[in-house]
Amino acid sequence: MALNPLTNATLAARSRAAVWHPCTQMARLDAVPPLPMVRGDGPWLIDADGRRYFDATSAWWTNLFGHSDVGLQQAIARQAATLPHVMLAGCTHEPAIELAEGLRALTGGALGHAFFGSDGASATEIALKMSAHFWRNQGQPQKCEFIALAGGYHGETLGALSVTDVPIFRDAYAPLLRATHLAPALHEPGALAAIERLLAQLDGRCAALIVEPLIQGASGMRMHGPEVLRALRALCTQHGVHLIADEIAVGCGRTGTFFAWEHTLAPDEVEGSTTPPFGLRYRRPATSTDWPDFVLLSKGITGGTLPLSVVLTTDTVFNAFLSPDVARGFLHSHSYTGNAIVCAAACEVLRRFRETDLLQQLPRQAHALREAFAPLAQHPRVTALRQTGMVLAFDVTDSGERFAERFHLAARRHELLIRPIGATVYLMPPYLIDAPTAQWLAQAVRATLDEVLAGA
């Protein structure tokens, strides 16, 4: 009988030869062979050698309900069997309509128009184009510059990279990018005053400011509170500049509310609260002036199954594109815009938020993480242990060379799939955390950390 060739070693070797992996130095692939995953089971991934790993980063922050969610499987299979795809110019379909209506309802009607893209970066591109085109249609074509924040991440296509400030992703391509005005990140003291000065200085030239609400993800899970976002909204309104909230990572319940922005709409602190009816917060009426002009969703919107992004915007923006003139309409399209299978998956995600007690469960899950990881704050090499909803992070001091790689490799031996950002270790797990799971995670992270630090 032939040996089964589908082992970790054979698949990793074939992958190394043919697949160019993202965000990966391919020269390191012998030292860090990619794990050939063959199956998902809840938060667990199982590799070709039959070993399992807890997916502590939710398949690059996309997974919400685990890797084998039956509801999502059925929604996708049903749609694939009836109508997989039609063009969304000249045609429409129920999954796209239901998704747009569902998202509008979640904003209390404030963001009533949904434009579909394929991934996070394209959502950023769409919002930037829409904002500048809006001002052009308003007779202000000179309003076409953008403000981004230090350490912000909005994707890696050229337009999105222009408003991204993460040197490792940006430096090699800097000559290809559009100039953007950079303001301090919101967790920095004095950020608002600096942003206000920049807005005044750019008077009449700035189309939009783009921000990651509550958590700057890719630059290392830097967190700020909702107050500064409320102030930012007011500043942008005052200066006639669009506010783009990039909720690609923090939307879809990650911070405890469906949209992270909802934390700004009510005065009481939500984070870590275990008091129901926490989840009803999103039903609070809000006027459209309290919301950003654009909200971007992607990652979690299909529960980690299929690529989709959505740009939500207001009546004001939408109405400015209505005209007998085609060139005043919004001009952006891709072949799979509003793909029906993908929209059906997203509708199932929304249904889960609407019809189950998920939003009531999330604070309990966040609380379990908090309790389990609290002792780590006493670790002599751990600083800045922090958490917002279902994102927990800490920094490691004197972490040494290649810390992220060594931590990732050591974690594999503890059944943990985790990829630190530099010396920042973070967890962004699927919404399947109970107290014993959180305790197990904390123990696995601590054992990994001690092993890595002992070997350094």
Gyration radius from the chain CA atoms:
22
Q: Which two tokens stand for residue 316?
A: 């004001």
Q: Which two tokens stand for residue 132?
A: 């500048």
**Contact call for residue 235 and ligand PLP (CB under 6 A):** no
Q: For ligand PLP, which residue of 153, 403, 426, 431 counts as binding (CB under 6 A)? A: 153
Span near ligand PLP by CB under 6 A; candidates 79-87, 118-126, 280-288, 325-333: 118-126
Return d(Cα 166, Cα 150) in angstroms, integer. 8
Return d(Cα 40, Cα 326) in angstroms, integer. 47
- The 10 Å CB-count burial string (b at 16+, else e) for 369-405 is beebbeebeebebbeebbbbbbbbbbbbeebeeebbb
3-state secondary structure (DSSP) of residue 156: coil
Span near ligand PLP by CB under 6 A; candidates 119-127, 323-331, 357-365, 443-451: 119-127
Q: Are 212 and 204 in contact (CB under 8 A)?
A: no
Tell me how far, at minimum, the Cβ of 385 lies from ligand PLP, in Å: 21
**Contact call for residue 366 and ligand PLP (CB under 6 A):** no
**Contact call for residue 212 and ligand PLP (CB under 6 A):** yes
Tell me how far, at minimum, the Cβ of 81 lies from ligand PLP, in Å: 27
Beta strands in 124-241 (DSSP E): 145-149, 181-183, 206-211, 215-216, 222-223
Tell me how far, at minimum, the Cβ of 422 lies from ligand PLP, in Å: 16
C-alpha distances out from residue 260 to 102, 151, 257, Å: 17, 18, 6
Span near ligand PLP by CB under 6 A; candidates 151-159, 188-196, 228-236, 346-354: 151-159
Tell me how far, at minimum, the Cβ of 445 lies from ligand PLP, in Å: 22
Tell me how far, at minimum, the Cβ of 17 lies from ligand PLP, in Å: 25
C-beta closer to ligand PLP: residue 55 or 119: 119
What is the number of the residue whose Cβ is closest to ligand PLP? 120
Span near ligand PLP by CB under 6 A; candidates 38-46, 76-84, 147-155, 409-417: 147-155
**Contact call for residue 103 and ligand PLP (CB under 6 A):** no
The backbone torsions φ and ψ at residue 79, rounded to the nearest 5 degrees and listed phi first, read: -70, -40
C-beta closer to ligand PLP: residue 118 or 448: 118
Span near ligand PLP by CB under 6 A; candidates 97-105, 115-123, 366-374, 433-441: 115-123
- Chain positions 32 to 71 lying near ligand PLP, rule: CB under 6 A, are none
What distance lies between CA 200 and its chain's CA centroid?
Answer: 30
Q: For ligand PLP, which residue of 67, 143, 154, 254 counts as binding (CB under 6 A)? A: 154
Return d(Cα 431, Cα 51) in angstroms, integer. 22
**Contact call for residue 119 and ligand PLP (CB under 6 A):** yes
Return d(Cα 456, Cα 451) in angstroms, integer. 9
3-state secondary structure (DSSP) of residue 340: helix
**Contact call for residue 304 and ligand PLP (CB under 6 A):** no
C-beta closer to ligand PLP: residue 217 or 256: 217
Q: Side chain identity at 103, as an amino acid letter?
A: L
Q: For ligand PLP, which residue of 79, 162, 298, 387 counts as binding (CB under 6 A)? A: 298
Return d(Cα 195, Cα 184) in angstroms, integer. 7
**Contact call for residue 120 and ligand PLP (CB under 6 A):** yes
x/- map, 248-287, ligand PLP, by CB under 6 A = xx--------------------------------------
C-beta closer to ligand PLP: residue 158 or 322: 158
Tell me how far, at minimum, the Cβ of 399 lies from ligand PLP, in Å: 23
Beta strands in 239-381 (DSSP E): 242-246, 294-297, 309-313
Tell me how far, at minimum, the Cβ of 197 lies from ligand PLP, in Å: 25
Q: For ligand PLP, which residue of 43, 217, 220, 300 counts as binding (CB under 6 A)? A: 217
- Give the number of residues in contact with ligand PLP, rule: CB under 6 A: 15
Return d(Cα 244, Cα 225) in angstroms, integer. 17
Return d(Cα 35, Cα 452) in angstroms, integer. 20
3-state secondary structure (DSSP) of residue 311: strand
C-beta closer to ligand PLP: residue 124 or 424: 124
**Contact call for residue 155 and ligand PLP (CB under 6 A):** yes
Q: For ligand PLP, which residue of 11, 72, 121, 229 counts as binding (CB under 6 A)? A: 121
Q: For ligand PLP, which residue of 246, 293, 348, 395 counts as binding (CB under 6 A)? A: 246
For 33, residues 6+ apart whose C-beta sits below 8 A from its C-beta are: 8, 9, 12, 13, 16
Q: Are 404 and 419 in contact (CB under 8 A)?
A: yes
**Contact call for residue 294 and ligand PLP (CB under 6 A):** no
C-beta closer to ligand PLP: residue 108 or 159: 159
- The 10 Å CB-count burial string (b at 16+, else e) for 247-259 is bbbbbbbbbbbbb
Residues that bind ligand PLP (CB under 6 A): 119-121, 124, 153-155, 212, 217-218, 246, 248-249, 298-299
